Amino acid sequence: MSSNQIKRTPAAAAAGTGSATRAEGAKRKEILAAATERFGRDGYEHTKWADIAADVGVGPTALYHYFESKQHCLYVIMDEAIEDFRGRFVALTSDSPDPMEALVAVLRDCFELTEQEILRNRVLVAEQGLLATARASSREEQARQGVRARARELQFAWATTLSQAMEEGAIPKNDPRLLARASLGLYNSIWQWYRPNGIVALNRIADFFTERALAMIGAASHGEIEPRMVA
């Protein structure tokens, strides 16, 4: 073997592969964050793929290593938004002995958001229409179907918890699926107009929304609700 040749051991090769994978994962997150900010601030239609590439310091063609298209990237953002919401919902409700206390905790948690998460919610709500039409690209279609499946899972989680509250007599009997959709629809409507630097603080919106959401499901007088002080 030449003195200029270095034989890589399997361990060294594996370490190199792992480092490359981590670097790719970090860049993918960076692209998603930049796209979320662009889509949430400027709108999906008004954002160019090249703008996102410039924001993360790569050429436009480099983005195709991570996403098939701008729309594929959008679907991934929407999928992550719903999955994060569902994961938080499950964490707050799965081990709770009291479904009403769990629901109150969920309603409060809905507003414990970073600015990035607020933008992501705006994107999710604003671009719902793009989930209705099948895509010719198999990768895009798989991502689109994934978002729709996540949304169904979230609705099912809400309906299940509402059904449990009904069975325990905490709220009046009703159709839990329709009630879940109504609750999610009320929440989603906020992100059509809310702006982080607007005249209405998010904690005020949280108090207003929580009271109305509980009234809608039939638990307006639940003792767990106390308005929060504005910082």
Please, what are the domains in the chain? 9-66 (1.10.10.60), 71-231 (1.10.357.10)
Over its length of 231 residues, how does the chain's per-residue pLDDT go in tens digits?
555 555 556 555 545 555 657 777 899 999 999 999 999 999 999 999 999 999 999 999 999 999 999 999 999 999 999 999 999 999 999 988 998 999 999 999 999 999 999 999 999 999 999 999 999 999 999 999 999 999 999 999 999 999 999 999 999 999 999 999 999 999 999 999 998 888 999 999 999 999 999 999 998 644 444 444 333
Give yes or no for a contact between 86 and 156, defined as CB atoms under 8 angstroms apart.
Answer: no
Nearest to 98 by CA among 49, 169, 47, 1: 169
Residue 95 is predicted with a pLDDT of 86
Residue 219 is predicted with a pLDDT of 85
**Helix/strand/coil for 218:** coil
Burial class (CB in 10 A: 0-12, 13-18, 19+), 6: exposed
- The first and second tokens of residue 124, run together, are 């999710």
Give yes or no for a contact between 89 and 106, defined as CB atoms under 8 angstroms apart.
Answer: yes
Q: Which residue has the tokens 């290593």?
A: 65
Residue 196 is predicted with a pLDDT of 87
Nearest to 187 by CA among 99, 74, 93, 89: 89
Amino acid at 202: L
Cα–Cα distance measured from residue 201 to residue 178, given in angstroms and rounded to the nearest whole number: 29
Cα angle 155, 161, 166 (rounded to 5 degrees) comes to 120
Residue 36 is predicted with a pLDDT of 98
Q: State the pTM of this model.
A: 0.85
Residue 1 is predicted with a pLDDT of 52
Give yes or no for a contact between 79 and 143, defined as CB atoms under 8 angstroms apart.
Answer: yes
Alpha helices (H) along the chain: 10-42, 49-56, 70-93, 99-109, 115-126, 138-167, 176-190, 202-217
Using one digit for the tens of pLDDT, what is the confidence trace for 171-215?
999 999 999 999 999 999 999 999 888 899 999 999 999 999 999
Residue 89 is predicted with a pLDDT of 96
